Amino acid sequence: MATKKISILGCGWFGLAMAKALSADGYEIKGSTTTEEKLETLSKFNIEPYLINFDSDHTNYDENFFNCDVLIVSIPPKRNAQADYPIKIKNISLAAEKAKIKQIIFIGSTGIYQNGNFIVNETNEPEPNTVAGQVLSAAEEVLKQNPAFTTTIIRFAGLIGPERNLAKHFAGKSGIANGLAPINLIHLDDCIGITKAIIEQKAFGNIYHGVTPHHPSRKDFYTSACLTSGLEKPTFIDELLDWKQVESKNVPEVLNYQFKIENWMEYAESMIKH
């Protein structure tokens, strides 16, 4: 294993699960959090813990965290401070450059794309029309424009998995718009699987869309997911308004990756109440 040391900046829902999976595979993992209470959790899973903050008004980090072969940046924009996000990523890129890191994997989002009533893949340039999409685009550019390291971008679709049952957002609601729009989702297991495949194959320097290639309608999936989860049935309007269907060319073609969750309706029918 040539790549030994991996630092994960941001050990939230995805970052912590990713850190645990890589540690179990024998990698040396450093993980960061912004809360002291979580340091013990990281240590418990054999993750070297660091208290790090790159907020524009409060930057604090240990340079040893950046002593690694690959840096995974997994910190989404804060809703109440989205404008500061590209500045935060800029400061992270400067710290990485100073530490002479060669590979950065940036965890982005397919939310960078506007709803254009189209099917989109990595060859399509985003034209974001929301603040969230625009700051994600700016953050990607900050990293891509720095020649000191190679930037790999994974744009995950809607995240679903343990303790993240998206059906709860629709339970019991009525008259939900855009019921016929396709869903764009990915399970945590596949988030981990794709990221590991990039590292193991050293398939750096590309943009990857982390999205399951199955897109039933919002109505069909979330209605089934609510009922199977023991939640109140929602009702959707049978209409197709603004939509996008996100696909990936690079995940199957570059990584030859086989998705663990391939059919969302089968997944919805297997969900249990939690």
**pLDDT digit string, tens, across residues 97-118:** 999 999 999 999 999 999 889 9
Contact present, 98 and 71 (Cβ < 8 Å): no
Look up tokens 């190679």; give the residue: 150
Strands 244-246 and 48-51: unpaired
Q: What is the pLDDT of residues 140-193, one digit of tens each?
A: 999 999 999 999 999 999 999 999 999 999 999 999 999 999 999 999 999 999
Let me know: does 110 contact 153? Beta carbons within 8 Å.
no
CATH number belonging to domain 5-160+185-213+244-261: 3.40.50.720
Cα-Cα-Cα-Cα torsion 224, 16, 148, 51, nearest 10 degrees, comes to: 140
Given this model, what pLDDT does residue 273 score?
A: 47
262 — pLDDT class (breaks 50, 70, 90) = very high
CB 185 within 8 A of CB 157: yes
What does the pLDDT read at residue 27? 96
E strand or H helix at 227: helix 218-228
What sign results for the dihedral spanned by CA atoms 178, 179, 184, 186? positive
Query: Each residue of 184-218: b (16+ CB within 10 Å) or e?
Result: bbbbbebbbbbbbbbbeeebbebbbbbbbebbbbb
Helix (H) or strand (E) holding 253: helix 250-253
With a pLDDT cut of 70, the percent of the chain lying above it is 97
Give helix 188-201 / helix 13-24 axis angle, nearest 10°: 50
